[in-house]
Structure 1
Amino acid sequence: QAESLRPEQLQVAIIGAGATGVELAAELHNTTRALVSYGLDRIDPEKDMKLILIEAADRIVPALPPRLSDAATKLLAKLNVNVLTSARVAEVLPDGVRLASGETIPAELVVWAAGVKAPDFLKDLGGLETNRINQLVVLPTLQTTRDENIFAIGDCAACPWLGKEGAQVPPRAQAAHQQASHLVKQIQNRLRHKPLAPWRYRDFGSLVSLGEYSVVGNLMGSLTGSNLWIEGWFARMMYESLYKMHELALHGFWKVTLDTAARVITRRTEPHVKLH
């Protein structure tokens, strides 16, 4: 365009600084620096592109301890990502975001990364009990509370976390994977008229990737009775290993091997933005 940039142009506001928001901010920083390779050499990423990460809590990735949150904050600052904490979003505007404080943040693109919500059609589906985010409320056996013949797992299910009074299992991939493995056996027991066993969530930890720059998180969780907090190169190797294990479980050895080889070849010719 011939005219000068509007205030919101080339600005991205990410609402929510949990694992998804932090990972996206780091990946977008890397991607914007690759723009010049695609003929957009009139854009200066350091000057024109701005990333704003907005979090209602007093620190980013609040699920991790303050030490790792501080490490992630410092790294994002080095990447020129503007981090706003204790900032609750009141309204998303056509050209930005308005905070509860009344401050308006201009942005051409607004990305919501502040939690999940189940599809609206689940609300009061067949008279089944749902919570405020439309998840089906289930028992520890993964049966819905109002119909024992209906089971629900994954992000659409609100499942109690046995051993943690009043807590619910977080909507994570590892939780859905464990639920699926458990439910296969429970359906077999159900068909054989055997009693159902309650499902217990095993927290294997969480890792937050900051693109090609670093990884922070914890490993093993309840397996060792305490958490092993890690960051840096070792955390990056563990993140890559766990990611490959997840791919192997879904796609098998040969497809993952071929996909990995293809990524190595195309790494410098295609931008890498990961949304999960």
Structure 2
Amino acid sequence: MFKKEGFGAKLRQTRKDHKLSQFDFVSQLANSHKEFTGLSQTTLSLWENGKREPSFLRRIAIARFFAEGYEMSEQEKKFVSKTKATEVGARPSFYPVSITDIVITDFVNLSEKQADVVAQGHEHFYKEALTETMAAFPPSHYAVSLLMNENAIVGHYISNNAGIIVSFCFIDNSVAFKMVLDLDGKFSSVVLPTRTTAIASFFQDLHFEPYPTASRVKFYKGSLKDLYNNPFFKDLLNNNADLVRFSKAQKG
């Protein structure tokens, strides 16, 4: 468990436990999150020797990088209490939904009932009609992947052959994780919609670039493999939204 007191010593030991050199650790951090762009081995040495202290956001991020918890001081808890209202669009997965099947069909071949569920899910997620979002892209052949729990649709994504995902909706984060896994086997680079301004900002922090469209929905382009392997994205899929909140709070 990381905490402010003794952070440097804990960081040094954890890095060594993971068999990471200072160079490799600095490089991996910078490639995973823009908060660490420009970080040098000299600065890392100062942190590990207790001669300098990383910011609160960086301390939280480093703990998340190693998939470890962070014990907050009373002062840090006061800061956190002011950021709890940040909307990140996550839904808790108290009872993870099992996926019994993934049905893939052409968008034009959806049944009336399926099309209605997909359209309602998209509008609920993105506050824009699906037809409007799709109209923001050139005409294309779209396939729909329906994630099923028995006869119920619990998630969907709509994609074309170029890796443009015009809709990505899920009932909880356990379903979202399975959708990302399913996408990982199909595309190397993707264009993905984001649900909230906090998540949009977080995508940019993870080195995804804005993809301009006429849609009110924000889209970002990047490597799906890099995203899937990113420790901070994995942390988000595991319902740990603290880093998203703190990043948003730090940016005002």
TM class, shorter-chain normalised?
A: under 0.3
Query: How high is the TM-score relative to the length of structure 2?
Result: 0.25
Query: How high is the TM-score relative to the length of structure 1?
Result: 0.24
Which has more helix, going by share of residues? 2
